[in-house]
Amino acid sequence: MKYQKNDKVVIKIEDMGSSGEGIGKADGFPFFVKDALIGDTVEARATKVKQNYGYARLEKVITPSSFRVEPVCPVHRQCGGCQLQALSYEKQLEYKQKKVQDALMRIGGFSRETIDRITEPVVGMESGFHYRNKAQFPIGSDKNGNLVAGFYAGRTHSIIANTDCALGVPENREILEIVLAYMRKYHVPAYDEKTGRGLVRHVLIRKGFVTGQLMVCLVINGKKLPSAERLVAALAVIPGMTSVSYSVNEKNTNVIIGERIVLLWGKERIEDRIGDIMFSISPLSFYQVNPVQTEKLYGVAAEFADLKGNETVWDLYCGIGTISLFLAGKAGQVYGVEVVPQAVADARDNAARNGIGNASFFVGKAEEVLPEKYRREGITADVIVVDPPRKGCDERCLATMLQMRPEKIVYVSCDCATLARDLKALCAGGYEPERVRAVDMFPMTGHVESIVLLSKLHTKQNIEVE
């Protein structure tokens, strides 16, 4: 049967896609259905039909899955940030484990036998809520002109009003309500993307889970925040409040935080601890949003690296040096590489703050710094740890890693598709996967972090790279 847009279909959901959408067939024709869960039988309406598959919008759950649970958040479907909130947490972990395994087989070309042999149990959380130490809430107006804060609906810039996100810290609600009350009282307008007018664009909130320190930074479309002292007075009494600032962003851009930060009250940074390492965090710092799982993630990375105390370790895409400093106490020398200059400055500051003298950091692209240090200065590697963005590693970076021939490569990934692609190249160049483990850094969402240990095949000849 040939389906068309707006056709109603009844589908038994038999699988789930990479973004958490349900997958099932109507008369043998596959449909992807957002918010449908494995085990559901649903009524859906076709929204887009291609030659061999289609997309549909969930209209009614006819028979709910045995894995379906009552969502905590009443707007989770509209918001779109929690794709899996209606799925039991045990099943979420199973889904994420399978997602990593399927990518390694389908894209990486590894056999089922290999993947089953090297896969270790997924690392989950005791509670999948209130784990985010950072949130960026857009500020706008509803159709009646009332100020709202919340999150964008999926693939739109329409704000779903919600000051009490179930994934964020409890303090978010009080802070946002104070900001909105201040804006109403002093007639401070919200930014309007369509006209480019208005002042307050976003509210950034960060919390140190170990220290309890709080940071609030308003992103504004202007150079000054009116009656700022009134806002500061209201925020400063919140327990743990450490930093209140604003960020100037007058550009028509999807980038949230502007480069200029103006401190209004308190300190420029907050602090938080991962393991034994204390980190200093600014509004611009990259810092893992789930500190509880981050410590577990880095613990797995350290276990995979199995350092004895005299190794030379390279940490590529190192950010503010979180993994570098976490490993430094177990290594001889650690070198970190990061393209963002401010992040490298933070990494150096964090090393000094913690009295770590065997970690050095370089500004630049990993695919440029690594060849430079290897070829011109002769710096080799016993272990390379790589934690790239979603797009994975640059081909030149992979090539230099293969030429340097470290005994181990520990690949930390936030995208299992690009992970699988890069592992295929590294294994073709003389490595084999020994261990893989998924870590649930983002419960209630379709995202998953994973770590793979690659070991050098000693029978492989050195590979020359042009």
Write out the catalytic residue numbers: 414
Which tokens is 119 given? 């896969």
State the DSSP H helix or E strand holding residue 299, giving kind and residue range, or none if neither: helix 291-305
Q: By C-alpha distance, which of 452, 298, 314, 435 is closest to 383?
A: 314
Which tokens is 259 given? 């480069």
Residues contacting residue 290 through CB under 8 Å, at least 6 positions apart: 131, 132, 133, 441, 442
For residue 241, CA distances in Å to 48, 92, 167, 213, 279 come to 48, 34, 20, 6, 17
Q: Return left, alpha or beta for 199; rule: phi > 0 is left, psi -120 to 50 is alpha, else beta.
A: alpha
Q: Are 316 and 337 in contact (CB under 8 A)?
A: yes
DSSP 189: P
Q: By C-alpha distance, which of 447, 423, 451 is closest to 105?
A: 423
Residues contacting residue 254 through CB under 8 Å, at least 6 positions apart: none
State the DSSP H helix or E strand holding residue 428, giving kind and residue range, or none if neither: helix 416-428
- Locate the DSSP E strands across 134-276: 134-141, 147-152, 159-161, 200-207, 214-220, 241-248, 260-266, 270-274
Indicate the residue type of 466.
E
Indicate the residue type of 237.
V
Please, how many CA atoms are within 13 Å of residue 109, restricted to the half-sphere of its CB? 9
Angle value at C-alpha 105, between 101 and 109, nearest 5 degrees: 150
Indicate the residue type of 153.
A
* CA atoms of 178 and 234, how far apart (whole Å): 7
Q: By C-alpha distance, which of 406, 401, 400, 421 is closest to 466?
A: 400
